[in-house]
Amino acid sequence: MKALVKTQQGPGHLELLDVEEPSCGPGQAKVEVKASGICGTDIHILNDVYPYRAPVILGHEYSGTVVETGPGVQSAKVGDRVAVLTSIGECCGTCRFCRDGHFSLCIAKLCHGEQLDGGFAKYSVVREELATPLPDNVSFDVGALTEPLACCVQAVERADIKPRDVVLVSGPGPIGLLVASLAKLQGAKVVVCGLSRDARRLQVAKEMGADIALAVDQGDLISLVKDETDGYGADVVFETAGVEASVKQCLNALAVGGTYVQIALFGEPAISVNANMFVNKHVRLLGNYGMTWESWGRTLKILSGSGVDFSKVITARMPLSAWEAAFEAVQHKTALKVLLYPE
């Protein structure tokens, strides 16, 4: 089968190869991949700035159909439509994080698409419990959004947004748009900001429920936020761009006593900010990584019954053979979420 493989350590080394089709072992399910999304993490792996183990088939946002099961499998059945929970291809089950249900933080965790083969291929073999049923009214395309949306669900829930809070989301990429939609479901007034080159993305933010979408190089974000909050600043900010200027902007826009949530990873993790602001503004600072089984289950319910059209973040669909153009579209931000289809 054709698969997109990170062949060795270092920048680049991503190739579409013919590889052996995987088979099921005990307790495993074989999924025929129907749609697989490109994540910013895939770009980081391409550029060698995120942990992975080569050689490995990339792709950790995917959905599909179970076509085979191994010995002893009980929960997965041939024909099941599934979204794949890739964040715990393997985990120890005994560390304090696993015992508390936070498997994404497991000290021995291995993830599909990073250390274990993922979904940029025709077939993927996973532990049976990771092939989770996809609601009948959720398409495979939208099902491929389950993993990134679950990360956002956990982040928004941890932020403890109150109805009528003013929430600022900096960065109108796929994660930012998903966060904004979820914050709106919590009853918040939502401001999404980007740059003038993000005009189409900011329009999608409005289409998905944001109250205000602003290009910060064409308008005064701080004045706008203060006007919306009687001068106090945003109650909650989500930084989803992963750039230094965005972090500074979020801190400046945040109210005293507000909550700052860092979701984006930084391609260049060394940034410069005025750390005194965390103290002087009495900031509640949260980082968010991954999800739990509970937030994964809630995500599937949100996809099925929230009424939000999450498919709006999908702006390009390409065959796996066009992976170079697809990765370029993501890296250069000419598309939002790009889905790849196996051949």
Q: How do residues 182-230 score in pLDDT, each as one tens digit?
A: 999 999 999 999 999 999 999 999 999 999 999 999 999 999 999 999 9
CATH number assigned to the domain comprising residue 166? 3.40.50.720
Does a structural domain hold residue 303?
A: no
pLDDT for residue 332: 92
- Rg of the Cα atoms in the chain: 20
Residue 119 and residue 227 in one domain: no
Q: Which two tokens stand for residue 117?
A: 């083969």
For β-strands 131-133 and 81-84, DSSP reports them as antiparallel
What pLDDT digit, counting tens, does each position of 124-135 carry?
Answer: 999 999 999 999
Establish if 142 belongs to a structural domain: no
Q: Are residues 161 and 122 both part of a single domain?
A: no
Taking the model in full, what pTM does it have?
0.95
The single residue listed with the structure tokens 């999908």 is 314
Give a yes or no: residue 63 inside a domain: yes
| Judgement on whether residues 88 and 24 belong to the same structural domain of the protein | yes
Q: 53 and 6, same structural domain? A: yes
Domain extent, residue 12, equals 2-134+309-341
The answer to whether residues 126 and 221 belong to one domain is: no
Q: In terms of domains, do 159 and 130 share one?
A: no
pLDDT in the model for residue 269: 77
- State the CATH number of the domain containing residue 7: 3.90.180.10
Q: Are residues 280 and 335 in the same domain?
A: no
The reply to whether 206 and 246 lie within a common domain is yes
Condensed to tens digits (0 to 9), the pLDDT of residues 95-145 reads 999 998 888 999 899 999 999 999 999 999 999 999 999 999 999 999 999
In a domain? residue 10 = yes
Sorting pLDDT into bands at 50, 70 and 90, what band is 43? very high
CA-to-CA separations, 250 to 85, 171, 229, 243, 245, in angstroms, rounded: 31, 10, 15, 11, 9
Whether residue 165 is found in the same domain as residue 279: yes
* Residue 330 pLDDT grade (very low, low, confident, very high; cuts 50, 70, 90): very high
* 6 and 84 belong to one structural domain: yes
Give yes or no for a contact between 137 and 300, defined as CB atoms under 8 angstroms apart: no
- Number of neighbouring beta carbons within 10 Å of residue 91: 20
If asked whether residues 277 and 323 sit together in one domain, one would say no
| Mean pLDDT calculated for residue range 72-93 | 94
245-280 tens-digit pLDDT: 999 999 999 999 999 999 998 877 788 999 999 999
Query: Is 297 a domain residue?
Result: no
| 157, 295 contact by CB (below 8 A) | yes
Mean pLDDT of the chain: 96
Asked whether residue 191 is assigned to any structural domain, the reply reads yes
Q: How many domains does the chain have?
A: 2
> Is 272 a member of any domain?
yes
First to last CA, the chain: 8
Domain contains 302: no
Kindly state whether residues 127 and 214 are assigned to the same domain. Answer: no
